[in-house]
Amino acid sequence: MPDETTHRVAKLIARAGLCSRREAERWIEAGRVALDGQVLESAAVAVADAARITVDGKALPDQEPARLWRYHKPRGLVTTHRDPQGRDTIFQKLPAELPRVVSVGRLDLNSEGLLLLTNDGAIARHMELPATGWARRYRARVNGTVDPKSLARLANGITVEGVRYGPIEAALDRQQGSNAWITLSLREGKNREVRRVLEHFGWPVSRLIRLSYGPFQLGNLASGAVSEVPARVLRDQLGKGAAPPPRPRPNARSGPAKKAQHAHRRRPA
């Protein structure tokens, strides 16, 4: 029986490594995408994997195997492909030999540490889901005198300004005068969660470092450095959670195509 699996056209373009799904939808609206020779007028189209999709008259490139990299994000970079304020982004600082990649979650401008990068958007979304069950571990330097009993209460979750945060494992590492270091582990990873929770107790964060994301560790990776996770390790670790969405087959009727290079530098997400 033939495979009747269908996908949105924008999703197939994104998985081919040309751009993000959102950008692919804009390309469709601009009339740059055709399906079996007919220019698409709407992004709300689902097609089989074997459909012939072209962008600017060129067939989609063959799909690469899923890959994952550890990146030690420095402070002062935003985790976006294009920043309206003109700030430096992580994608401007990545090695030129990397293919187009997306980040697994984000770290804000002043946060540093482990950021995972992948060439597969489906894997990124899978890793970000709370249902996957992967903990994110951080070290935070805060201003103020930390009360260990207050930290212990975070294990039951906390509501801050109407936002409910799930259980957080937190422990005081050491108090140094008016500053303290805290280690935290959480599984939701809501926007600025660590900073907002600690500031709620009157402990503003002056430094925040992500040490690990699920089974992947920052280790001794130097600031700004990138290291690829071996394919075997990636397969093993993904197998421990719910399976990520299946990757589509290469565009079966498109024939060979030139591989997109360094797209993370020139195509916004």
CATH code: domain of residue 188: 3.30.2350.10
Q: Are residues 38 and 153 in the same domain?
A: no
- Tell me the pLDDT tens digit for each residue of 153-193: 999 999 999 999 999 999 999 999 999 999 999 998 888 99
Q: Are residues 90 and 106 in the same domain?
A: yes
Report the share of the chain in percent with pLDDT over 70.
Answer: 86
Q: Are residues 143 and 200 in the same domain?
A: yes
- pTM, rounded to two decimals: 0.75
Active site residue 108: yes
Report the share of the chain in percent with pLDDT over 90.
Answer: 56
Q: Are residues 19 and 148 in the same domain?
A: no
Instruction: Please name which of 64, 74, 91, 31 lies closest in space to residue 268, comparing C-alpha atoms.
Output: 91
Q: Are residues 177 and 198 in the same domain?
A: yes
Predicted local confidence at residue 178, as pLDDT? 95
Q: Are residues 143 and 185 in the same domain?
A: yes
């079996």: which residue's tokens? 36
Predicted local confidence at residue 252, as pLDDT? 38
Q: Are residues 90 and 116 in the same domain?
A: yes
Question: Alpha-carbon distance 82 to 222, whole Å?
Answer: 25
* Residue 17 belongs to some domain of the structure: yes
Overall domain count for the chain: 2
Mean pLDDT in residue range 80-86: 86
* Residue 36 belongs to some domain of the structure: yes
Domain that holds residue 18: 6-63+248-265
- Tell me the pLDDT tens digit for each residue of 107-163: 999 999 999 999 887 788 888 887 888 999 999 999 999 999 999 999 999 999 999
- Tell me the pLDDT tens digit for each residue of 41-55: 888 888 876 678 999
* Residue 1 belongs to some domain of the structure: no
Q: Are residues 100 and 161 in the same domain?
A: yes
Q: Are residues 154 and 122 in the same domain?
A: yes
Beta strand spans in the chain (E): 6-8, 33-35, 38-39, 46-48, 53-55, 58-59, 68-73, 102-103, 111-118, 136-143, 158-160, 163-165, 168-176, 179-186, 205-213, 216-217, 226-229
* Residue 19 belongs to some domain of the structure: yes
Predicted local confidence at residue 50, as pLDDT? 62
Question: Alpha-carbon distance 206 to 143, whole Å?
Answer: 7
CATH code: domain of residue 58: 3.10.290.10
Q: Are residues 140 and 220 in the same domain?
A: yes
Predicted local confidence at residue 22, as pLDDT? 81
Predicted local confidence at residue 240, as pLDDT? 55
């692919």: which residue's tokens? 24
pLDDT(269) > 50: no
Q: Are residues 93 and 190 in the same domain?
A: yes
Q: Are residues 261 and 169 in the same domain?
A: no
* Residue 13 belongs to some domain of the structure: yes
- Tell me the pLDDT tens digit for each residue of 203-247: 999 999 999 999 999 999 999 999 999 999 998 988 754 444 444
Which residue among the candidates 108, 120, 147, 236 is catalytic per the annotation? 108
